[in-house]
């Protein structure tokens, strides 16, 4: 008998999330019994600080895995038993896997062992490899040093970026991210280097860079515009955006018009979902099928 997967998404304002249908369609294509439900803290009358307890309660009620999104990625950690190394380094969890160990059925914990993981960075790295194969990673400019920016920065270093320049409207966030991630043990001949740059310098830095990533919310519905003057992009650059609503942000449009190779935010969204699906089920996800499903939504 195949096992039943019941996955929850913990976050706020997630009624319109594409994750349930994205996961369920891939599971259906694989013939799995798999249900994906939102657990919206706003609807439940909970605060972000309750996310850890909500995660434990959900598992006690039968949830076999969880995704976690804004604003609960840090707060959920209090309810977990263990963290993967990358989730600990990023200080953020977007995926919780559950292992039941009957030998440890004690008290309220009932032997359920909840482990926090992070597929935002593995997802971005896979997206980069699949969507922009061979992209030059000599110097990369990253704008936005929040949750998505931290995951992207980690992924770029793992992928071999030699110089990563991070900017944020809140300069202290860029500085903190650079301090947290550097020095990084990269390939011996090319030690990775991360540094913070001020927002005003971004256009000049882009002129010297191979690629640029937007990890700010600018470009998403309700946040029109571009996070920097897009006229500095040339056909020499690649551009990645993490914003996926809409897929064709103003920045993506400008980059395409300039002749850049472009990775839209849908790639990261699909890849992180695929990585989570694989952690939940132990089965490979068909990423091109998931991307095709995503583009239909």
Which of the residues 239 through 278 are near ligand NAD (CB under 6 A)?
A: 242-244, 265, 268-269, 272
Nearer to ligand NAD by Cβ, of 59 and 181: the residue is 181
Measure the CA–CA gap between 188 and 155, rounded to whole angstroms: 18
Measure the CA–CA gap between 91 and 211, rounded to whole angstroms: 26
Residues 94-133: x/- map of binding to ligand NAD (CB under 6 A)? --------------------------x-------------
253 included as an active-site residue: no
Using only C-alpha atoms, what is the Rg of the chain? Answer: 19
**How does strand 82-83 pair with strand 261-263?**
unpaired
Q: What count of residues does the chain have? A: 297
**Residue corresponding to tokens 């482990």:** 115
* Residues 199, 165 contacting (CB under 8 angstroms): no
> Binder to ligand NAD among 149, 197, 206, 262 (CB under 6 A)?
149
CB of 278: closest distance to ligand NAD in angstroms?
16
Active-site annotation holder among 5, 23, 73, 154: 73
**Residue corresponding to tokens 């770029």:** 156
**Residue corresponding to tokens 């991630």:** 181
CB of 47: closest distance to ligand NAD in angstroms?
18
* Residues 221, 212 contacting (CB under 8 angstroms): no
Which of 272, 269, 206, 276 is CA-nearest to residue 243?
A: 269
CB of 106: closest distance to ligand NAD in angstroms?
36
> Binder to ligand NAD among 56, 121, 173, 291 (CB under 6 A)?
173
Give backbone dihedrals phi and psi of 65, rounded to 5 degrees, phi first: -170, 160
Considering the rule CB under 6 A, would residue 43 count as an interface residue with ligand NAD? Answer: no
Sign of the dihedral through C-alpha 72, 77, 83, 88:
positive
Residues 190-219: x/- map of binding to ligand NAD (CB under 6 A)? ---------x---------------xxxx-
Nearer to ligand NAD by Cβ, of 27 and 242: the residue is 242
CB of 242: closest distance to ligand NAD in angstroms?
4
Say which residues have a Cβ less than 8 Å from residue 205's Cβ, sequence separation at least 6.
139, 141, 165, 167, 197
> Binder to ligand NAD among 6, 41, 145, 239 (CB under 6 A)?
145
Nearer to ligand NAD by Cβ, of 191 and 207: the residue is 207
Active site residues: 73
Interface contacts to ligand NAD, rule CB under 6 A: 70, 120, 143-149, 168-170, 173, 199, 215-218, 220, 227, 242-244, 265, 268-269, 272
């Amino acid at each position: 008998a195949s096992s039943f997967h019941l996955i929850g998404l913990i976050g706020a304002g997630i009624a319109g999330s594409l994750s349930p249908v994205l996961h369920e369609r891939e599971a259906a294509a694989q013939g799995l019994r798999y249900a994906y439900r939102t657990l919206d803290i706003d609807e439940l009358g909970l605060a972000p600080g309750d996310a850890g307890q909500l995660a434990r309660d959900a598992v006690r009620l039968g949830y076999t895995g969880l995704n976690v999104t804004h604003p609960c990625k840090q707060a959920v950690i209090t309810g977990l038993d263990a963290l993967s190394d990358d989730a600990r380094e990023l200080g953020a969890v977007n995926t919780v896997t559950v292992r039941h160990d009957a030998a440890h059925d004690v008290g309220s914990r009932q032997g359920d062992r909840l482990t926090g993981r992070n597929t935002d960075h593995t997802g971005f790295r896979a997206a980069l490899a699949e969507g922009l194969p061979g992209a030059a990673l000599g110097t990369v400019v990253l704008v936005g040093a929040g949750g998505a920016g931290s995951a992207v920065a980690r992924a770029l270093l793992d992928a071999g970026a030699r110089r990563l320049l991070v900017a944020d409207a809140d300069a202290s966030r860029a500085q903190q991210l650079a301090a947290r991630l550097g020095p990084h043990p990269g390939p011996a001949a090319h030690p990775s280097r991360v540094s913070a740059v001020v927002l005003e310098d971004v256009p000049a830095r882009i002129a010297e860079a191979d690629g640029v990533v937007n990890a700010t919310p600018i470009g998403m519905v309700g946040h029109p515009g571009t996070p920097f003057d897009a006229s500095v992009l040339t056909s020499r650059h690649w551009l990645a955006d993490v914003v996926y609503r809409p897929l064709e942000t103003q920045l993506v449009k400008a980059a395409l018009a300039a002749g850049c190779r472009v990775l839209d935010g849908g790639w990261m969204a699909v890849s992180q979902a695929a990585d989570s699906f694989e952690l939940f089920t132990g089965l490979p996800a068909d990423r091109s099928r998931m991307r095709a499903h995503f583009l239909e939504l």
